[in-house]
Structure 1
Amino acid sequence: MNLTDEQKADIAALRATPAQTLRATSEGMERHLYEPKPVLDHGFVRVIDYMGDDTAITQAARVSYGRGTKSVSNDEGLIRYLMRHWHSTPFEMCELKLHVKLPVFVARQWIRHRTANVNEYSARYSILDREFYIPAQDSLAAQSTTNNQGRGDTLQGAEAERVLNYLRDDAMRAYDHYEEMISTEGQQGLARELARMNLPANIYTQWYWKVDLHNLLHFLRLRADSHAQYEIRVYADAICEMVKDWVPFAYRAFEDYRMGGENLSAAALDCIKRMLAGEDVTQETSGMSKGEWREFQAMLD
């Protein structure tokens, strides 16, 4: 992660001047404010602002005035009830604004979550830095033979070195040409908005991303999952650590019911009941397709 001296000074200044407020704050999230958390080789994620805490969720659910007379244990129990029964609106009362630096190909996957407010660094007006994501060797993998959008075995030895050289050399060559094409003093050159089209998808971009807690947890459920692509999963993992400190009750419920739980179809639930009754259930007698049965078996293992 590369921060300029100006960025470091700005972060230090922001953290050195706390602001007095009457609004609810989260002690856990205050520790994260402004601090960049390194991700990948040049990326980071940092909290710029947040609104609400666990109490904001329960307050919205009860539509009460202030904290009321409910105990902490009742608050956690209510949050678990809301999570268990898929009540989304109370979780929308909390919001988080992040500053993220990430490779363009990760950003294009991330932006598919169309439930946030996003403002991205503009390569029409500014010149992108010479920073590219180059995977560590243990992250280089062949195409999976069973999953069209997944990875297989890790590349080794000369094959891994060959691929890494291509990634480095092609990225640097593309950036050299990008610089040469751009308009400079004494050279008409090409407009920045056109020159950028020659840049590779592993160049880094930055954006501000603001989202409510309900939609953030949906993002984390998908992107912090072990099946998610590694390069976006590490960002989700970093955000998970922040959310855990921000809304601990909500995050524990999220871990239990979303990350650690399973949703069962009517057919799957029927199979479990039959198995508990002693019946030997097979794919042929389950009422499930082969794919559903394979996932069902994996859930039980």
Structure 2
Amino acid sequence: MVKIQSDVTVELVKHSASDSDVLWAARVSTAGEQSLEEVHKDPQRSKGLINFLMRDRHGSPFEHNSMTFFISAPIFVFREFHRHRVWSYNEESGRYRELQPVFYVPGKDRKLIQEGRPGKYEFADGTDEQHALVERAMTESYRQSYAAYQEMLEAGIAREVARAVLPVGLFSSMYATCNARALMHFLSLRTKDDRATVPSFPQREIEMVAEKMEAYWAELMPLTHEAFNGNGRIAP
């Protein structure tokens, strides 16, 4: 039985990340071993330093932290994700397990009509008829491809061969680990935000993942997140 989903899953499973990580990393350049005193200090007292580092793009102090996310999303989202290289990824394998019939169909709020030229795309709402067409065409295609996949598995065909018939709308899952600097670069490209100095035109589905990741990060490092937004959402 094919299962249809229109949302993605993002869970923060592990982290070592706080605003104070930025401070002691930055202050070692002038304070040496005395910078250890910053590890347990209230970062609110040094809010200005974080903003200075962000504004003047002193980026390395934002790398001394770690966040690991569990993500479940369509395969086409992961193909865009993997272009971000300062990350660690482990994705489920269609060679070693039978892939489950969970597929993506856009929800009613997903804009369907693409207008404009590359780099300046705008999207408009689809009609009820267009949404119905997308749902019907995708669902029928998913059912046919998964039936072919099952037929080959039942005939003894290796999983790594049979999976070739499955579309990129299939859901996959992975763990993704990054630091705040890498995440800011990801967010600068994969979200559309009025505060951004440099506009971005992300595909909506990867933006859905990015928004959920940003919400977790904003709780872990609120001062860094505030400085990111206050300085045009440009990664330092």
TM-score norm. by structure 1 comes to 0.67
Deviations 1:49-80 (A, max 9, x none): 11131111101111211327976444211111
Counterpart amino acid of residue 130 in structure 2: E
1:60 matched to 2:25? The reply is yes
Judged with a 3 Å threshold, the aligned counterparts in structure 2 of structure 1 residues 115 and 108 are, in CA distance, closer, same or farther, namely same
Counterpart amino acid of residue 76 in structure 1: K
Match of 1:205 among 165, 172, 176: 172
User: What's the offset of the Cα at 1:158?
Assistant: 2.4
Query: Where does residue 45 of structure 1 map in the other structure?
Result: 10
Judged with a 3 Å threshold, the aligned counterparts in structure 2 of structure 1 residues 46 and 68 are, in CA distance, closer, same or farther, namely closer
User: What's the offset of the Cα at 1:236?
Assistant: 0.8
Larger of the two Rg values belongs to structure? 1
Judged with a 3 Å threshold, the aligned counterparts in structure 2 of structure 1 residues 178 and 42 are, in CA distance, closer, same or farther, namely farther
Aligned length: 217
Counterpart amino acid of residue 218 in structure 1: H
User: What's the offset of the Cα at 1:222?
Assistant: 1.2
Counterpart mapping for 1:12-51 below 5 A:
41=6, 43-51=8-16
Judged with a 3 Å threshold, the aligned counterparts in structure 2 of structure 1 residues 71 and 212 are, in CA distance, closer, same or farther, namely closer
1:239 matched to 2:213? The reply is yes
Quote the RMSD (CA, aligned, Å).
2.1
Judged with a 3 Å threshold, the aligned counterparts in structure 2 of structure 1 residues 69 and 109 are, in CA distance, closer, same or farther, namely closer
Match of 1:256 among 219, 230, 234: 230
Give me the whole-angstrom Cα distance separating, in 2, the residues matched to 1:53 and 1:129.
37
Judged with a 3 Å threshold, the aligned counterparts in structure 2 of structure 1 residues 145 and 42 are, in CA distance, closer, same or farther, namely closer
Say which SS state the counterpart of residue 231 (structure 2) adopts: helix
Q: Is the 8 A contact 1:96 1:212 kept in 2?
A: yes
Unaligned runs of 5+ in 1: 1-39, 262-301
User: What's the offset of the Cα at 1:141?
Assistant: 1.2
Say which SS state the counterpart of residue 201 (structure 1) adopts: coil
Q: Which moved more, 1:206-215 or 1:152-161?
A: 152-161
1:125 matched to 2:125? The reply is no
Give me the whole-angstrom Cα distance separating, in 1, the residues matched to 2:9 and 2:123.
27
User: What's the offset of the Cα at 1:140?
Assistant: 4.5
Match of 2:67 among 90, 96, 108: 96
Counterpart amino acid of residue 214 in structure 1: R
Q: Which fold has the larger relative contact order, with Cα–Cα distance below 8 Å and residues 6 or more apart in sequence?
A: 2
Aligned residues: percent identity?
29
